[in-house]
Structure 1
Amino acid sequence: MARTSLSILRRLALAFGLAVAATTAPAQGVSYDPPPVQASDPQAASDAGEAAPSRERQRPRRSRAEVRPYLEVAQIVTAELNGGDVFTYTSLAAGVDGRIETRRVHAQASYRYQRNIEWGGNGADQDTHSGLAIVNADIVPGLLQFDAGALAARTGGIGRALGVTPRDSSVEIYSLFAGPTLSTRIGPAALNAAYRIGYVAVDDDTPFGAFRDQYDDAIAHNLSASIGIGPGRLPFGWTLAGGYARSDNGGPFDQRFEGVYVRGDIVLPVGPTLALTAGVGYEDLRADQFDIARDADDLPILTPDGVPIADPSRPRLLTYDIDGLIYDAGLIWRPTPRTELQARAGRRYGGTTILGTFQHRFNRTYGVAAAVFDTVETFGSSIINNISNLPTDFDIVRNPFTGNIGGCAFGADPGAGLCFDQSLQSVRSTSFRARGATILVSGNRGLWSFGAGASYVHRRYARPSDPAFDIFGAVTDESFGLYATLGRELSRTSDLTFDAYASWFDSDLAGFEGIFSIGATATYSRRLLYDRLQLIGALGLYHTSSGANDSIVANGLIGLRYTF
């Protein structure tokens, strides 16, 4: 259901107020990370009980500030190659890219507002906001940090996180998070605690949106704490940890999710590069929502558009209810300072769980990171967790036609970054269990820079078993996404960028046709007038296929940007 610009501005104002006035951190999934215990050498092992240093504390800071606002005008031609229309747009954009870094504060942001004006009257004008921001501040150095972040992104709806063109209807997603992190010592023990609050709002303009799960907005909370001592004083290290997560959706069915866990872990070094780890604990996860309003014959009452109506007067329906013992065991392997593997397997969420991470730096300029994950979360918590894990030094490649953020954000360190498609492929209001894997590789050499990321996710949604709820969407879905970018500096004032993507999405919904998308874009830019004026040219080709629906779209752009 589309909303007015004023409604969107009110949402953003509310979200900004929450982010600034609260104090907060990642999101709402109740996944638990293993204790950060070093096992690569005896000294590192003895220091493992230290509070884990933040990504900023590991890097010396020098004060600098760079804020570059800009205005841009461009002409866009988009053509449907298999018998469709040709549209011409004038694109007007205003944005800012900035970075502020001091001894105690690191902030980076990229924001862009774009309006596409269609010439012929056959296509709709579009207004889009897109951006990414992250802030880290040492409030009390060595003791208290504050983090905040924001995301504004655009997708093409279910299964279309990548490859949105100017002619597509879209789903606009806005998110903010903020919160403090405490890290200190109590004698030989390290004490860590964090709280995060996040807000997510969705504006869905895609056709037939009424027949899908309607996501309005949500507020998510996440609180975690741990205390532990690393190996050294004892042959093993230990950690006691606990966490609480809650998410409240603002939609008509008032979906709520709550989760709490407590657990203990030990880490036993068995060699200079290898340690064994095991943990056991208890968790309680619960989700519920309003029932559908029903008539005298107990049949669902629908709007004229076929949308079910919520009935707050009926007892709430339990959609997820798991509590009991959780346990896992695994290893931590660090054969070199540049390589780390962590793997764990056990029981959680009522079944087997497998987790793992791998990081390797080939040299100073190339790196790779991979992860296997298993978590119970909501759409809102997934988005907020993504933003909170964003490196503070990041690079993004925008789509030149829509201004939207590309599939991944790559960090300044090789192998650092994250991809957004795993969270954006499916916008649903119910909680779900997500299992999958991600891999990201990035680096640079001389005049070249590159980055690539891939992800696979299988989601199982928690919803009432009543067939009346089938209208809200599938019970399970899965997606695969691949995004890559390659840049080349042609001279001091010109550069060329290629980016490409491929994605696949499918679900068990009756009659649903899987969605496959693939596309590529080439962008050339040349800076003039002391780098203030920039000439931009771009070509793009995008293909989307879903059953009998097949679309091939070609885009072309020529534009000018002035940077102040």
Structure 2
Amino acid sequence: MNRTTLALGTAAALLAGGTADAQSDRRTTISPYIELSQVLDADLKGGDVVTYSEVAVGIDAATNTPRVQAQISYRYERRIGEGHDIGDADVNTGLARIDAKVAPGLSLDAGGLATRSRNDIRGAAPGILTGNVDNISQVYTVYGGPSYRGHAGAVALSADYGIGYTKVTTPTTGTGTPGQRLDYYDHSLGQTASVGASVAPGAMLPVGVSVGAGYQREDGAQLDQRFEGYHARGDVLAPVAATVALTAGVGYEKIDVSQKDALLTAAGVPVQDGDGRFVTDPTSPRRVAYRTDGVYYDAGVVWHPNHRTSVEAHVGRRYGSTSYTGTATYQASKSVGLAVNVYDTVETFGQQLRQGVANLPTSFVDSRDQFGQQFNGCVFGTSGAAPGGCLNSAFQSISTASFRARGVDAVLSAKRGLSTYGFAAGYTNRELYAPNVPSGIVVYGEEDQSYYGQLFYGRALSRVSGINANAFLNYYTSDLPGSAGTISYGATAAYYHYFGRLGTTASLGVYNAKTEGQPSDPSLQALLGARYQF
């Protein structure tokens, strides 16, 4: 069993242990299960049809107490091929989020993710991960750390520490461009630390003042990559009306991203290890992939008309060009909420993924539809206060290079009676960084981008039955050699019914992908399964 499977199991243990004194509390549920399924995958263009069986074990658990808010949904399945058309495989899928108050002012935030996702942005773009899918890697990530919030008179104090680990398996076949293959991500370990102090407007001065500093480092296995950053910043907040304030800030930032060269053959081709990853040249000096060292600044406006609505927008100068950031939240009711995030950061795949998981709600919608995008797209929350978040910006491709990520995400979730709705859309752009040396690495200065949308609908038909439906659309483009615009879209639906502890599920999915200059690839999927819930 891999370390992330263990970590997700540990999260379940923490969830159960954190509520050991409240097992009778109706807000706490723990439901392990075993499931058997039969899957059909049909190529609608070529006529090929494959079938296979699945044996799965999993756990769904959640708690919501004054001290602990947490949820975990984890599933391990063994796929058993039938005939020679599809091989056996192990698949791990799960999401865990925990926010626990361990002492006055002190809390613990932790999370974990196991999923499968697209690897190379130039390759295949499967949306329903059944059968022998190309260009897919299994991804694991975990993170955790304490946070402190307190006061010293009128001064609010904060301190945070986090540590996280990300692991990616080598992708399935059919990726990349011959002669121009990108390196495969392996694993990374990252740490962050920050401190801050702030004073609200009117407490000591007419304006609010905040100062903060932070440090982050990540060490990646591929080519001995290292990301190290320091920053310090000060802000002022000046109210200009009852619900409007102007804000401005200035800071100092230093980021160094470096790595070593790939070992080359006499012909100048990168040497690969047994897993297909580039081998590090032990004699190589450390090369700078990206560096910034200097002052950055921005100004903006904050609008907070009531406790349900908040909008904040900033424009400034950072990373050598104009930078736009902002957030907007609207909680229409206890069960209806909207969140919009505009971001501009320099980071790595591991950092972006761990931060994305940390931004997901501690109570989320877990669909019974195994054909839906299981935690590799947008995740919808169950309350208006935390409508959800998207991981698409990280999963548009799994990059070993660092990059500047700019984009926007919008998530809407709603619950009306027996129905639950979710809608999400976004855009992300990456400018890739790597040492500009003739070492066979082709990403320096190139950009890739994606547009995405996702819909979710769930309805309880009775106390023991219900339906789930998903629809998604993705479009990818890249400046990398050998790339072409790719669009993928699909829709899935599932019906489930429980007979006591035994439940049954029927799912159906349709999917299509089209790359410029190539024929489309439509397919149909079907599943029948039975689950016993302990």
With normalisation by structure 2, the TM-score equals 0.90
Alpha-carbon displacement from aligned partner over 1:227-268 (angstroms, at most 9, x marks no partner): 0100113110000111111111012x0111111110100000
- For 1:410, the equivalent position in structure 2 comes to 380
Q: 1:312 Cα deviation (Å)?
A: 2.4
- For 2:20, the equivalent position in structure 1 comes to none
- For 2:18, the equivalent position in structure 1 comes to none
Q: 1:107 Cα deviation (Å)?
A: 2.4
Percent identity between the aligned chains? 38
Q: 1:295 Cα deviation (Å)?
A: 6.4
- For 1:439, the equivalent position in structure 2 comes to 410
Does residue 1:196 correspond to 2:159, yes or no? no
Which structure 2 residues correspond to residues 130-141 of structure 1 after superposition, within 5 A?
130-141=93-104
Q: 1:63 Cα deviation (Å)?
A: 7.3
In structure 2, C-alpha distance between the alignment counterparts of 1:145 and 1:63, rounded to whole Å: 23
- For 2:129, the equivalent position in structure 1 comes to 164
Question: Given residue 435 of structure 2, which amino acid in structure 1 is its aligned partner?
Answer: P
Q: 1:204 Cα deviation (Å)?
A: 2.2
- Aligned 8 A contact 2:127 2:511 in 1: no
Q: CA separation of 1:474/1:320 partners in 2, compared to 1, >3 Å: closer, same or farther?
A: closer
In structure 1, C-alpha distance between the alignment counterparts of 2:96 and 2:467, rounded to whole Å: 25
Q: 1:397 Cα deviation (Å)?
A: 2.3
Q: 1:64 Cα deviation (Å)?
A: 4.0
Q: CA separation of 1:163/1:464 partners in 2, compared to 1, >3 Å: closer, same or farther?
A: same
Which structure 2 residues correspond to residues 38-117 of structure 1 after superposition, within 5 A?
64-117=27-80
Does residue 1:497 correspond to 2:429, yes or no? no
Alpha-carbon displacement from aligned partner over 1:140-171 (angstroms, at most 9, x marks no partner): 12x11111110001114334484333331421
- For 2:419, the equivalent position in structure 1 comes to 448
Secondary structure of 2:235's counterpart equals strand
In structure 2, C-alpha distance between the alignment counterparts of 1:244 and 1:271, rounded to whole Å: 35
In structure 2, C-alpha distance between the alignment counterparts of 1:443 and 1:340, rounded to whole Å: 18
In structure 1, C-alpha distance between the alignment counterparts of 2:245 and 2:198, rounded to whole Å: 16
Instruction: Decide which of 453, 465, 487 is 1:516's aligned counterpart.
Output: 487
Higher relative contact order at CA 8 Å, sep ≥6: structure 1 or structure 2?
1
Q: 1:91 Cα deviation (Å)?
A: 1.4
Instruction: Decide which of 179, 192, 206 is 2:145's aligned counterpart.
Output: 179
In structure 2, C-alpha distance between the alignment counterparts of 1:473 and 1:73, rounded to whole Å: 47
In structure 2, C-alpha distance between the alignment counterparts of 1:384 and 1:523, rounded to whole Å: 30
- For 2:514, the equivalent position in structure 1 comes to 545
Instruction: Decide which of 307, 311, 316 is 1:346's aligned counterpart.
Output: 316
Alpha-carbon displacement from aligned partner over 1:57-115 (angstroms, at most 9, x marks no partner): xxxxx774210011111111110010142001111111100013443223211100112
- For 2:19, the equivalent position in structure 1 comes to none
Aligned length: 510
- Aligned 8 A contact 2:217 2:227 in 1: yes
Question: Given residue 503 of structure 2, which amino acid in structure 1 is its aligned partner?
Answer: Q
- For 1:38, the equivalent position in structure 2 comes to none
Instruction: Decide which of 275, 281, 298 is 1:328's aligned counterpart.
Output: 298
- Aligned 8 A contact 1:488 1:495 in 2: yes
Which structure 2 residues correspond to residues 55-454 of structure 1 after superposition, within 5 A?
64-141=27-104, 143-159=105-121, 160=125, 162-169=127-134, 170-207=136-173, 211-233=181-203, 234-251=205-222, 253-294=223-264, 299-300=268-269, 302-303=271-272, 308-397=278-367, 399-401=369-371, 404-405=374-375, 407-414=377-384, 416-454=387-425
In structure 2, C-alpha distance between the alignment counterparts of 1:339 and 1:178, rounded to whole Å: 29
In structure 2, C-alpha distance between the alignment counterparts of 1:474 and 1:208, rounded to whole Å: 25
In structure 1, C-alpha distance between the alignment counterparts of 2:470 and 2:486, rounded to whole Å: 20
- Aligned 8 A contact 2:348 2:402 in 1: yes
Instruction: Decide which of 431, 451, 454 is 1:460's aligned counterpart.
Output: 431
- For 1:483, the equivalent position in structure 2 comes to 454
Q: CA separation of 1:16/1:250 partners in 2, compared to 1, >3 Å: closer, same or farther?
A: farther
Q: 1:11 Cα deviation (Å)?
A: 4.1
Q: 1:401 Cα deviation (Å)?
A: 4.3
Secondary structure of 2:393's counterpart equals helix
In structure 2, C-alpha distance between the alignment counterparts of 1:92 and 1:10, rounded to whole Å: 18
Secondary structure of 1:124's counterpart equals coil
In structure 1, C-alpha distance between the alignment counterparts of 2:158 and 2:288, rounded to whole Å: 33
Question: Given residue 278 of structure 1, which amino acid in structure 2 is its aligned partner?
Answer: A
Secondary structure of 1:391's counterpart equals coil
In structure 1, C-alpha distance between the alignment counterparts of 2:37 and 2:365, rounded to whole Å: 23
Question: Given residue 538 of structure 1, which amino acid in structure 2 is its aligned partner?
Answer: S
What is the aligned-residue RMSD (CA, Å)?
Answer: 2.5
In structure 1, C-alpha distance between the alignment counterparts of 2:415 and 2:160, rounded to whole Å: 34
Q: CA separation of 1:446/1:474 partners in 2, compared to 1, >3 Å: closer, same or farther?
A: same
- For 1:12, the equivalent position in structure 2 comes to 4
In structure 1, C-alpha distance between the alignment counterparts of 2:117 and 2:301, rounded to whole Å: 38
Q: CA separation of 1:178/1:307 partners in 2, compared to 1, >3 Å: closer, same or farther?
A: closer
Q: 1:421 Cα deviation (Å)?
A: 1.6
In structure 1, C-alpha distance between the alignment counterparts of 2:175 and 2:519, rounded to whole Å: 18
- For 1:554, the equivalent position in structure 2 comes to 524
In structure 2, C-alpha distance between the alignment counterparts of 1:437 and 1:387, rounded to whole Å: 16
Structure 1: 5+ residue stretches without partners: 1-8, 21-61
Q: 1:294 Cα deviation (Å)?
A: 4.7
- Aligned 8 A contact 1:425 1:479 in 2: yes
Q: CA separation of 1:398/1:16 partners in 2, compared to 1, >3 Å: closer, same or farther?
A: closer
- Bigger mean CA deviation after superposition, 110-119 or 486-495: 486-495
Q: 1:461 Cα deviation (Å)?
A: 1.0
- Bigger mean CA deviation after superposition, 239-248 or 360-369: 360-369
In structure 2, C-alpha distance between the alignment counterparts of 1:304 and 1:216, rounded to whole Å: 12
In structure 1, C-alpha distance between the alignment counterparts of 2:496 and 2:389, rounded to whole Å: 26
Alpha-carbon displacement from aligned partner over 1:369-388 (angstroms, at most 9, x marks no partner): 11111011110001110111
Secondary structure of 1:311's counterpart equals coil
